[in-house]
Amino acid sequence: MVTIAGETLPGSAEESQISSLTTAAARNLATTTKTAPQMQGITSRWLLRLLPWVQVSGGTYRVNRRLAYTVGDGRIDFDINGTSVSIIPDELRELPVLQDFTDTPVLAALGERFTQHEYAPGEVIAQAGTPHDRLVLIAHGRVDRIGTGKYGDEAVLEALAGGDHLGDAPLNAADGQWEFSYRAVTRVTVMTLARQDAQEVIGRTPALRDHLAADPRGDARPANASGESEVALASGHHGEPALPSTFVDYEPAPREYELSVAQTVLRTHTRVGDLYSDPMNQVEEQLKLTVQALRERQEHEMINNPGFGLLHNTDLKQRIHPRSGPPTPDDLDELLATVWKDPSFLLAHPKVIAAIGRECSARGLYPDAVDFMGHSVPSWRGVPIFPCNKIPVTKEGTSSVLVLRTGEEKQGVVGLHRSGIPDEYEPSLSVRFMGIDDKAIANYLVSAYYSAAILVPDAVGLLQDVEIGH
C-alpha cells in the first residue's frame, strides 16, 4: 500500500477493494451532452443588420444623381520616399484654379519649384494679415485653421491634414494677405511654392497665364451649395412678372454598382456524413460555420473594399480630422454635422468606442445608452454607436469613425443583394452541390452576393485618424 499526501495510489490494497463502477468507466457507456461547433470569429455584424437591403434583380445598381460641377477641391497626393517629398505634377490640378489645366509639362515646371519645410507642434505656418507670399501644400501632419470668433476670441475653424492646401493666391497676379492663421498641431511636413517662383513660370507660359486670367467655370450655370445646377425660381413677387424657366440636369455617366461575390468550396468526406451525423448533421454544421465566415468577409468588404467600401468611397468633403488626436466630444459633434440630415447611426471599432468613453468621462460627460433590438448601446446626441471590428486600427494606433444615413427614401446608404438565386440557402447566399470526386469527397460551392451604394455624398461622414492610445 502506497500513500502520498493522503491519496492512495493505483495498485494499493484500498483500490482493489472498490465495490462499485467508477465514473471514468461509466463514461464509456454514457452519451455526453455536447455543443454545436463554436467559432470565435463570429461578431455582431451590426452593419449587415442595420443597412436596408435593396433587391438588385439585374446584378447592377445604377445611382442617378443631379449633375454636380467639380470644383477641384480634392486632396493632393505626393511622391514620398522616406522623408523626402516631391510633387506629382497632375495632382496640382486638384487646386481650384488649375482644375481644368491639362498641360503636364507646365505643371511639372511648377512642381519643380516647390520646396520642403518642416514645422514643430505649435509652430505658426502662416499668420493672418501677413503677405500671402506662398502656396502651401500639406504633405503630412495636422494643421489648425485659426480665426477670430464673434466676440474677438481665438477660434479653431477647421482641422486640416495631409492632402489639404492653404490657399492658391500666389498663382494670381494680385497681392493679398493671409485671411486666417495656420498652426501645426503635430509635426508637419509641407511643400511651399513662393510667389516669385510661381509668377516666373506663369510669365513665360502664355497658356497658363490665359487660363488663370479666365473664369475657371466659364459660362457654367449657377450652382447651389451642393455643387448642383441651380433651379431658377421666383418667389415673393406681385403682379404678373415673367417667370424664369429652368430644367433639372442629370449626371451623363451615373455610377453603377455590380454585385460583388465571396465564394468558397466546402469539402467533406462522404464517410463522415454517413457514419458520424448522429446526433448532429456533420455537413450542416460545417456549412453553418462556412456561412458565418462568408458573412464576416462580406461585412469586411463593405467597409474596406476599394470599389464600394464605405471607408474608400466617402466623399472627400465629408472627411474630417480630430482637433487634437483622440475622439473628443467636439469631434463627434463635428462628425454629426457632416450628416446632419437625419443620421441613423455611428460605426466604430470597439477600441475607438472605449476611447470615446474615456474622453467623455474626462470631461464629466456620461452619454445615455439607447435600447436597440434588446441591446443597450452607447450613443452620442441620441445617435447610437455600434461596434465594428472590421474598421481597421493602424500600427500607429489610429482608426476611423463612420456616421451613416440609411435608406433609399432618405437618399442614404443601402446594401445591395440578389435574393431568389438558385440553390439559395439564405437571402443572396447559395449552396450548390458540385458532386463527389474519386476520393469520395463531396464538394459544395458556397457563394454570397452583395455590395453597398452611397446614394448622395452627404449620406456618409468619416472622422479619420483618431488616436486610441491616450
The top-scoring range by mean pLDDT among 96-100, 199-203, 294-298 is 294-298
Does 291 or 76 have the greater pLDDT score?
291
Residue 426 has pLDDT above 80, yes or no: yes
Domains of the chain (ranges plus CATH)? Answer: 46-58+257-467 (no CATH), 78-213 (2.60.120.10)
Band the pLDDT of 218: cuts 50, 70, 90.
very low
Three cell numbers written together for 397: 494606433
Q: What is the pLDDT of residue 81?
A: 67
* More confident call, 9 vs 228: 228
| Band of pLDDT at residue 173, cut at 50, 70 and 90 | low
Q: What integer best gives the mean pLDDT of the chain?
A: 86
CA dist 65 and 251 (Å) reads 6
pLDDT band at 10 (very low <50, low <70, confident <90, very high): low
| pLDDT tier, 433 (very low <50, low <70, confident <90, very high otherwise) | very high
pLDDT at 446 over 90: yes
Tell me the pairing of strands 429-436 and 441-454: antiparallel
Q: What is the arithmetic mean of pLDDT over 382-396?
A: 94
Confidence at 220, pLDDT banded by 50, 70, 90: very low
Q: Could you give the count of Cα atoms lying within 13 Å of 21 in the half-sphere of its Cβ?
A: 8
Q: Does the pLDDT at position 2 exceed 90? A: no
Is the pLDDT reported for residue 243 higher than 90?
no
Q: Is 449 exposed, middle or buried (0-12, 13-18, 19+ CB in 10 A)?
A: buried
Confidence at residue 82, expressed as pLDDT on a 0 to 100 scale:
65
Give the confidence band of 216 by pLDDT, cuts at 50, 70, 90. very low
pTM of the entire predicted model? 0.73
Which of the given ranges, 15-24, 160-169, 268-277, has the highest pLDDT on average? 268-277
When pLDDT is cut at 50, 70 and 90, the band that residue 23 belongs to is confident
3-state secondary structure of 64: coil
Query: Each residue of 302-315: pLDDT tens digit?
Result: 999 999 999 999 98
Q: What is the DSSP string of 322-359?
A: -SSSS--HHHHHHHHHHT-SS--EEEE-HHHHHHHHHH
- Write down the pLDDT at residue 456: 92
Higher pLDDT, 86 or 71: 86
**Helices 195-203 and 206-213, packing angle to 10 deg:** 110
Q: Are 185 and 159 in contact (CB under 8 A)?
A: yes
- pLDDT score, position 11: 56
Mean pLDDT of 402-410: 95
> Taking 60 as the threshold, does the pLDDT of residue 95 lie above it?
yes
pLDDT of residue 140: 84
Whole-number pLDDT of residue 226: 63
Label residue 245 exposed, middle or buried (CB < 10 Å: 0-12, 13-18, 19+): exposed
Quickly count: other Cβ atoms within 10 Å of residue 141's Cβ: 18
